[in-house]
Amino acid sequence: MSNVAYQVMWNRLISVVEEQAQALVRTAFSTSVREAGDLSAGVYNAQGLMLAQAVTGTPGHVNAMADAVPHFIRRIGADNIKEGDVYITNDPWEGTGHLHDITVVSPSFHNGNHVGFFACTAHVVDIGGRGFGADAASVYEEGLYIPIMKFADQGRVDETLIRIVRGNVREPDQVVGDIYALATCNDIGHRRLAEMMREFGLDDLGGIGDFILENSRRATLERIAALPRETARGGMTIDGFDRPIDLRVELTIQADHITCDFTGTSGLDKKGINVPLVYTKAYACYALKCAIAPEIPNNAASLAPFVVTAPVDSIVNAVHPAPVALRHIIGHMIPDTVYDALDQILPATVPAEGAGCLCNFQVSLRPAPGHKGRRSEVLTFNSGGAGARPSVDGLNATAFPSGVMTMPIEATEHTGPVIIWRKELRPDSGGAGQYRGGLGQFMEVGPAQGHECDFSAMFDRVHHPARGRQGGDDGAPTTIAQDDGTLMQGKGKQFIPAGRRVMLALPGGAGYGPAGLRDPGLIKRDLARGYISAQAAMRDYGLTQADVDAVAASVARGETA
């Protein structure tokens, strides 16, 4: 078959898995999937090598899931893979890093022959245990563990498993609904793949799979070969749970691969912020691909030249039974750590540091004493600012590296008796620079009338804000307190009584380059839009009072900024 035909099929395959992902978005019960896109979807050959991933989703899921399917083949057994089967797990070390992610894998058959697999992952709102948070001391406290097993055996669903799940989670309808949604989206992927194979007269995925993997590998190696053969060390310090965490990496560019060695990184934490190596690898690979080969599609071959190692029992290579519920808190900081090293080898390539980890919180609501109401679990995803890039400002309230979207207020409030009183951009939170860091957000949130709650905080950058690059200023740190002034911790479950609110200021991204080099027109634009205050415009960028007054007059006249 010609290369042109194979290229058409490759594009078609990417469309197939994108439809698979969109089906999950449409049918999922949890707002984390429907509204935030905290999911992944992919197609694999019969040997378990990922051939294509959906554009929709998060790299922490799909890059980790790239390693998951071979675990399923090994656990289920090649001779036990049958048409109509659906497999499931939330094993942190053989899935995507923590118990709250359920991975579903379905073998795909064509004309009676096993040709590959579809796999997808989604974050579920609850998995039992202590609930979503950093408070556990081992993975056994973090919720229900589902080993790799058959969810459906030749089309027959394991009802015993369903009863076990329902009996161990706080939101059984949502969780079970999400499991069925995961299985359904794989089935949609299979149907679209079957249509494609019939259209192109394919008996298996061998030819197209070889074409995808060979071309992806060659293209990635060409990019790596063009880079300087150098080694650099990078690092950063972040908040941790109750003590700072040091992340350290040695980055080495070889002729045909790049290594990231995390020796020197802090050891295991006693709380649930530890990271299985599969998740560390996912974000280290993502960081390198974004910088070096962003347009080469993700698959097994394009990921293979990035080699990631870390000492066992370091915080980025936690092994069972370490608590790992909030592995994203550390894992989302991996790209900025890698970029600290890569910036020394490839200047003017990588962005300044951003907020890093998602600014998530989960609210466990219940009626206050003497009141009636309903109990519910509300999880909401929010973002600080992204770091400025070498030639453009950072994105406001945008998640990098996760790519997960901020949840709309309306969708969040619909899921339970919670009220978000305020949600708006945070002026002056982006670090000053030739290119300004992205802004964080202000949020005020609390239980609805007659309710109280436990607020599970999942924040970082409280004590260690995003650092500027190449002379740019740091971003603003996270702050968290109750509306009566009571300070709160950046991580952990904390009680919020009825009538109280949590006041959040989410962190800003850092600036890139000296602020003295910023285009005066951009400074005035930011002032007019409210991204920076008059005081910051004068203090950080040197605007005069006359300049500030002129911008204010322009805004008063209704002129567009």
- Residue found under tokens 């698979």: 20
With a CB cutoff of 8 Å and minimum separation 6, the contacts of 297 are: 10, 14, 52, 53, 212, 216
Judge whether 375 and 366 are in contact, CB under 8 Å.
yes
d(CA 486, CA 501): 10
Q: What are the tokens at 371? A: 């009141």
Q: Which helix (H) or strand (E) holds 15?
A: helix 3-27
Q: Which CATH number fits domain 3-217: 3.40.50, 3.30.360, 3.10.20, 3.30.450?
A: 3.30.450
Would you state the pLDDT for residue 560? 66
Length of the chain: 561
Domain range summary for the chain, segments of one domain joined by +: 3-217, 351-518
d(CA 57, CA 326): 18
CA distance to 22, 217, 509, 546, 556, per residue, from 538 (Å): 47, 51, 20, 10, 20
CA distance to 83, 88, 145, 251, 352, per residue, from 148 (Å): 17, 6, 10, 34, 40
Task: Read off the pTM.
Answer: 0.95
At position 428, the amino acid (one-letter code) is: D
Instruction: Give all strands (DSSP E) within 291-389, no chain letters.
Output: 306-309, 360-367, 376-380
* pLDDT, tens only, 299-315: 999 999 999 999 999 99
- Residue found under tokens 């380059």: 513
The answer to whether residue 561 scores a pLDDT higher than 70 is: no
Q: What are the tokens at 512? A: 């890139």
Instruction: Give all strands (DSSP E) within 32-112, no chain letters.
Output: 39-45, 50-53, 86-89, 101-110
Q: 321 preceded by cis ω (within 30°)? A: yes
Q: What are the tokens at 55? A: 């554009």
Cβ neighbours around 5 below 10 Å, total? 13
With a CB cutoff of 8 Å and minimum separation 6, the contacts of 292 are: 223, 224, 227, 258
* pLDDT, tens only, 204-263: 999 999 999 999 999 999 999 999 999 999 999 999 999 999 999 999 999 999 999 999
Report the half-sphere exposure of 309 (CA within 13 A, side-chain side).
10
d(CA 277, CA 316): 6
Q: What are the tokens at 117? A: 């697999």
* pLDDT, tens only, 480-489: 999 999 999 9
Would you state the pLDDT for residue 37? 84
Q: What are the tokens at 162? A: 């369903």
Would you state the pLDDT for residue 197? 97
First to last CA, the chain: 55
d(CA 93, CA 74): 14
Average pLDDT over residues 135-146: 97
pLDDT classification of 34: cutoffs 50, 70, 90: confident
Q: What are the tokens at 95? A: 């899935």
Q: What are the tokens at 114? A: 């096993």
pLDDT classification of 404: cutoffs 50, 70, 90: confident
Strands 258-261 vs 306-309: parallel, antiparallel or unpaired: parallel
Would you state the pLDDT for residue 290? 94
Lowest mean pLDDT among 66-70, 172-176, 270-274, 431-435: 66-70
Q: What is the mean pLDDT of the chain?
A: 95
The answer to whether residue 1 scores a pLDDT higher than 80 is: no
* pLDDT, tens only, 71-100: 999 999 999 999 999 999 999 999 999 999
d(CA 314, CA 280): 11
Would you state the pLDDT for residue 442? 98
Outline where 201-333 has alpha helix (H).
Answer: 206-225, 277-292, 300-303, 327-331
Average pLDDT over residues 522-536: 97
